[in-house]
Amino acid sequence: MSDEVRVIINDGIMTVTINRPEAKNAVNAAVAQGIGAAMEELDRNPDVRLGILTGANNVFCSGMDLKAYARGESPFVEGRGFGGLCSLPPKKPLIAAVEGFALAGGFELAIACDLIVAGDNARFGTPEVKVGLIAGAGGLLRTSRQIPQRVAMELALTGEMISAARAYELGLINRIVNSGGALNAALTLARVITANGPLAVAASKKIICESQDWLSDEMFAQQEPLLRAIANSKDAIEGATAFAEKRRPTWVGC
């Protein structure tokens, strides 16, 4: 894997860091391929329970590297989209730990994650219209599902940034911490999640993500196969047994 994407796995948590501080962590081909490979490993490796995506030197990601793009580099990965993530997020949970700018493609990477923890210096936005482009890697598609439509429309049409405080007020991000503390806060949140049953966590994510397209008179029937699979799992028995015995469960993932 390229030095431009660093991956560390510790206690079941994969931390993926975009490491191009000289370019404000802009996404070039190497970054896209590195993130895509990390997402594949996250889903494939049974010892990894959750991922965190962040950026080096207190900047999350400033978007696509326009200079690299002009040289013919593609920041897209076939089947996974922009940055190796935006069109196909992992099945396991993914947290964005955001410091500084999360703009354009960087914003789209952040909102492709399931949870966002941000430093109070963070700024979010889709400025593509300012240069005659559109936020085509999810900035238009996802934002209106995550915040009120009129606010999403304002962001898309003006190209203006919003602060971490405003993003939190809108429900776009989960937690705000002091500048420089986003990664540690994301790790703390990750440890709470990884203490839970891995099958239940994955199924819960799947239902929340997919049920947005389910019809109200079909949604419980759509959920039933997943619910049945979890209820019949060894982990469900272990969870109930551990609760009764007042001990921490030992998950086996089946």
Q: What is the mean pLDDT of each run of 10 residues along the chain (254 residues)?
A: 88 97 96 97 96 97 91 94 97 97 98 98 96 93 95 96 97 97 98 94 92 89 88 86 88 84
Whether 37 and 70 have beta carbons less than 8 Å apart is answered as no
pLDDT on residue 240: 86
Q: Which one of 41, 78, 128, 224 is the catalytic residue?
A: 128
pLDDT on residue 199: 92
Residue 227's nearest CA partner among 251, 198, 200 is 200
pLDDT on residue 96: 98
Residue 40's nearest CA partner among 74, 14, 4, 73 is 14
- Residue 104 phi/psi, 5° resolution? 55, -120
169 is catalytic: no
- Residue 16: DSSP 8-state: E
Whether 53 and 93 have beta carbons less than 8 Å apart is answered as no
pLDDT on residue 1: 53
The C-alpha atoms of residue 4 and residue 192 are separated, in whole angstroms, by 29
Centre a 10 Å sphere on the Cβ of residue 217 and count the other Cβ atoms it contains. 7
- Superfamily covering domain 5-194: 2-enoyl-CoA Hydratase; Chain A, domain 1 (3.90.226.10)
Q: Which one of 4, 40, 73, 108 is the catalytic residue?
A: 108
pLDDT on residue 2: 66
224 is catalytic: no
